[in-house]
Amino acid sequence: MRKFIVAGFASAALFAPLSAPVRGADEQTVVVPFPTTTTSRLGKVFYCDATVGAYLDALSKEKEVPISNWPKSGMRATAYKPTDRLVLVIEESGNLLTLYKREAFESGKANGDPFDIAYKSADVIIATVLVTALPSIAVVTLDRKTGIATWTTTKSHDFLTEGPRVDTEFFSCGPRKP
């Protein structure tokens, strides 16, 4: 019996970081329809339009943020309608995903941001980049079957708010878009 209890605790400890946060009673929801794009699982280039975004940040306890409509301190969450247009390119090696701003990519003047592919299957790609100077980590996920992608950046210290910050956006991706 004792072995089962120990195994249960070990399993809970192993999978606890993968569980979702507990939701609060004062929750607000933003709903955006699923994309209607079609994608090819074998595609190497995906054109993506942002559909919904959110950020979480912690404002400094010691220093007021010099923006008039921001709270003076505390933690906040904000949802918004983003305008980002990206191109995701899976490099021939299959080990690198490069994120480009669409306008720069289409003009031929693109310097993309390379992400190491941490996981890939026929349907899903997860790519990451660690920026030690900030420090921050960015993650791009792409579901090739549905055409839904996410781009999330987590910073330990934002230059403006002086606290941690998380930015995330959903994208509708597919073949070349107008």
pLDDT digit string, tens, across residues 62-102: 666 665 666 666 777 888 899 999 999 998 788 999 999 99
Residue 33 lies in a domain: no
Q: What is the pLDDT along the chain (178 residues), one digit of tens a residue?
A: 444 443 443 444 444 444 455 555 566 666 766 666 656 655 789 999 999 999 888 876 666 666 566 666 677 788 889 999 999 999 878 899 999 999 999 898 878 999 999 999 989 999 999 988 878 999 999 998 888 999 999 998 777 667 788 999 999 998 876 5
Residue 119 lies in a domain: yes
Residue 162 lies in a domain: yes
Residue 6 lies in a domain: no
Residue 23 lies in a domain: no
Domain hosting 154: range is 38-174
Can you name the residues that pair with 56 across neighbouring β-strands? 77, 166
* Sign of the torsion formed by the C-alpha atoms of 20, 25, 30 and 36: positive
The structural domain count of the chain equals 1
Supply the pLDDT for residue 115: 97
Residue 30 lies in a domain: no
Residue 5 lies in a domain: no
Dist. CA 76–CA 62, nearest whole Å? 16
| CATH number of 130's domain | 2.40.160
Supply the pLDDT for residue 3: 46
In this structure, the dihedral spanned by the alpha carbons of residues 35, 172, 76 and 59, taken in order and rounded to 10 degrees, is: 180
